[in-house]
Structure 1
Amino acid sequence: MPFLTIYRDEQVNSTVVPNQFIDDYMKDANDAQLKVYLYLLRMMNAHQATSVSDIADKFNHTEKDVIRALKYWQKLQLLDLDYDSGKNLTGIHIRDLDTPAESYAGRGTGSVSSFIPEPVLSGSAGFPDEKDGPPQSAGIPPAAPASDDRSTSYEKPSYSADQLREFKSRQDTAQLLFIAESYIGKPLTPSEIKTILYFTDVLHFSDDLIDYLLQYCVDKGKKDFKYIEKVAVNWAEEGISTPKQARKTACRYDKNIYTIMRGLGKDGSPTGRELEYINRWLKEYGFSTDIILEACERTVLATDKHRFEYADSILSSWKRQNVHQKSDIRGIDDLYRQRKKPQSPSKQTNNRFNQFPQNNYDFDVLEQELLSN
């Protein structure tokens, strides 16, 4: 009997996980750490890029949870984090577990990375800043790795039924719960009401800050109270106590805001007024980022000053003309060019009589009028 040739499809829809990871590392990792590492392996095998915010959205974690997981695996020397000169995370190198750790000493940041994050503003939460010191060299774990455990000062108590009744009986609680139910779109469960109590009792959030917290999470499509609680704890750890501080921090993670700021030639965080413009374009006008960037490009070519006002005039005009996609803009441009075309002058003979006003007479009508008299 002849030998058989064994083959398979070129595209293998699977991810290989090293046995050493399962045997030695998986048992001690928490939920977020496991999800992040396995997802990085999956994206590396597929030769695809991702970002911190994309990973957070996919697994219903916060961006800070993802950063903590990355630093955890860096501490265990399963991966290396690459930074640019501005201390921004630019790539991740996943190590081969069969290769001795000593072989990675002195690895340059030019190695191929399995993970390319979206650009972030320098000093963004979750990335190195001045108080963290310079970025760690690839392959060398940080001197004082960040702990993945929640601070004990923010531990959520197990509230009793009496405590819950007392909270609901407060004069200002009814309005706060009504706001929460309006954002979530359903009556709150006892567990969710306890989470609201936790925000006021332990995190010491004001009603205005809780209002903005719920609005921020719902705008991101997150109505799960576990996710909302994670965001709240992150804000508390960062010392956020007002909606203004929360808005400033939220801008660091919003890819759309960062992209629009860059499109207008701005490198820093937006001011309150600039953020109002961006939110108007995204939410009130309902424009996609590519349409807004088209307006930004035209603005940069036209002026160096008052760029937000100029871009707003373009976008408000497009809103009035029912622009929904870039092809609509091309139609408006074509119509504008046609209207601006110079009219060709009528051919006239070069004589002195052309200096007088020219009249058009209907000689048949004139003849009838003369005959009737």
Structure 2
Amino acid sequence: MSRFKIYQENCSDVTVVSNLFIDEYMKDANDAQLKIYLYLLRVMGAGHSTSVSDIADQFNHTEKDVVRALKYWEKNHLLTLEYDDTKNLSGIRLLDVSKRSSDDVVSLAPVVQLPPKQEALDAKPAFSKPSYSLDQLKEFQNKEETAQLLFVAEQYIGRPLSPSEIKTILFFADRLHFSEDLIDYLIQYCVDKGKKDFRYIEKVAISWAGEGITTPKQAAKFAVKYEKSVYDVMKALGKSGIPTKAEADYVMKWSKTYGFTKDIILEACNRTVMATDNHRFEYADSILSSWHKKQVHHKSDIKALDEAYAKSKSAAPKPRFKNTDQFSQFMHSEYDFDALEKEILSN
């Protein structure tokens, strides 16, 4: 087919969207996230004010859906949420997609009370599971879509679901707003990892909800990111289970911010395991931060640092001891590994 141009006769009433946003951000955002971001651009361009409730009414979403979308874009560094002294959302600063800075602010009426920004990112109370009644459970089970979903879940698990497990699936749909497709993918994903315990499945679901995941495609991309990096580090440090946000942030820091390759990160993990049983992520971070400052780029650089350290140790004058008590005192003061570990973690 022939190619064609797209043009417009009158461009006076337009909303400008960055090409970088279209190329890099649109493909991963869900319907609600896209609508809300474009609407914010529209409101800013017109110089109007709005509120969470207004946006919810505009697109027939819940206020929680709006807040979740705003947090998603804040996490992707396309906007910053601003709060007043009473912790009400008072403004949204839309950041330049390419420069990550802008003075454009959309004024929001402080009608919905929200936690401070840092607490808002880490808070989990919105995802707590309620106590469902038998009537609610029966109503859920009687839906045609639900009956099919429960049947598929039983095939994955390999046995009939208990009432408690059915309530957990109800929680996914009712409170986390997961679609049937996403719940299907969630259970399949966990079972493929050898995890059929619904407590584990629930933790995964809550972590996905906290990341703003609403589609199987988004979940798959999120899972791949963790599979390739975070879980390898977790295993190397002798940890199992679902990584916490703080643990995942450490791995992203080492790989993205410091630019370390996998072999260097795993080398730090191996040294950490040999040195301590506690605070291993923090201990490994102290090692990798030191290597970053010393401009380590390859394992050969680590070897050079080790050789230099060993050379300095051998060249240092050896202390002389008059008696056993002095020797014991020296060993305690100079080689107190517990104190050394605390010192490393405090830096």
Q: TM-score, normalised by structure 1?
A: 0.34
Asked which structure has the greater CA Rg, the reply is 1
Larger RCO (CA under 8 A, 6+ residues apart): 1
Q: TM-score, normalised by structure 2?
A: 0.35
Higher helix fraction (1 or 2): 2
